[in-house]
Structure 1
């Protein structure tokens, strides 16, 4: 089983290298982003970014339309190479891409910028605050924005600052 995983990693590394991306293994390279902020991204590297098409006045035709995020979600052909690059930038010792979700800090559900690297980061799928916990916060904030109990800018600011406290910051629980 372990040799199969190594082979899959080698194939991925080869494919990404052929695509013009260098795969950095472990701590062979100095990190440019700090993992010390986990479960949050480094705010210098990923401060968040907004989709200019999503405003308080456009939510009824954008984020509040079921399935709208599918129309703006970037393909894995874009996010996977970015994930590899950012895993290296964070200096994560675990370089298995399956252990990370290339996550939007400001989620698409709240009008986060779909392709801006300042809004995408390799969020670990393990630890005290796994990716699924953030997904629940995102869904609750979107519901509150779409039902009018929270303003879009307040929800975006709260989640970009600290998703672990975003619900309490906007007064929902």
Structure 2
């Protein structure tokens, strides 16, 4: 296909990386559409599990370096412990705090970042998140999607930890 694009003489964007994976197995065996073993597009839709939950689970369980196994229990654990308890909790806490009326929060307006006198806890968070963002960029540049997602979730974990140890008197 790339040679066909080049042959046209037009300025097409060509692929720079090809992302390949190992095998994703189903529970204790292999996926087999002919034998009805596994979960396929229509089956996934019929579960009424939101598409983003499927996307998260499949990316977080992506067989990049070795075979991986799809399990219903694994899907439930990733959904409950990572999406809800980690990311969902972090988003809820941040939005709830921003939405609090002025005096208790920010009155639904995100303030400008301070230029000086940054609290040491905030400074530490900024440095940690800055390092994680660089790791994320490096992973994505190498098409390490699973690793990139894991790093993104680590940023969420750092945010949750920051909010947990911060008192309202510090944040308000």
Q: TM-score range by the shorter chain?
A: under 0.3
Query: TM-score, normalised to structure 2's length?
Result: 0.24
Query: TM-score, normalised to structure 1's length?
Result: 0.24
For the pair shown, the structure with the greater C-alpha radius of gyration is: 2
Structure number with the higher helix fraction is 2
Higher RCO (CA-CA < 8 Å; seq separation 6+): 1
